[in-house]
Amino acid sequence: MANTPKVLIINAVTGEQELRDMNVEELAQWQVDKDSDAAKEAKAATEAIAKAALLAKLGITEDEAKLLLA
């Protein structure tokens, strides 16, 4: 099992530092963030594949497509 990510919290006024494992809420938020970022990356990958397929269908390169839209 992977180690729980740690967080470091520093108080700028007192200089106190706390290094600890993410608590339940932080771990949950981290998972939400990971899922959100993964979904974003999957969407971007899907769009890239669709874009490449469209370019292939049109028989033009990405630069030519940019020229067309300029």
Partner 1 sequence: MAAGQGFKTFATGDVLTAADTNGYLMQGVWVFASATARDAAVTSPQEGNTCYLKDTDQILVYSGSAWVVKSGGASPLTTKGDLYGYSTTDARIAVGTNGQVLTADSTAATGVAWATASAGSLTKITSGTFTGASSFSVDSAFSSTYANYKMIVVGTSGGGAASSIQIRFRTGGTDNTTTNYSGGRNSTIFSTGGTEIDTSSNDSKFTFGRTDSSGGWWMQFDVLNPFVSQLTSAIGGHSDITRGGDSAGRFNGTTSFDGIKILNQAGNNIAGSYYIYGYGN
- Interface residue list for partner 1 (CB under 8 A): 5-15, 17, 19, 26, 29-30, 32-34, 36-37, 40
- For the bound state, the minimum distance from the C-beta of residue 11 to partner 1, rounded and expressed in Å, comes to 5
Which C-beta is closer to partner 1: that of 6 or that of 57? 6
Tell me the C-alpha to C-alpha distance, in Å, between residue 4 and each of 1, 24, 29, 31, 48.
Answer: 9, 10, 13, 12, 33
Which C-beta is closer to partner 1: that of 15 or that of 59? 15
Which C-beta is closer to partner 1: that of 30 or that of 65? 30
If we measure between CA atoms, which residue out of 19, 22, 3, 1 comes closest to residue 11? 19
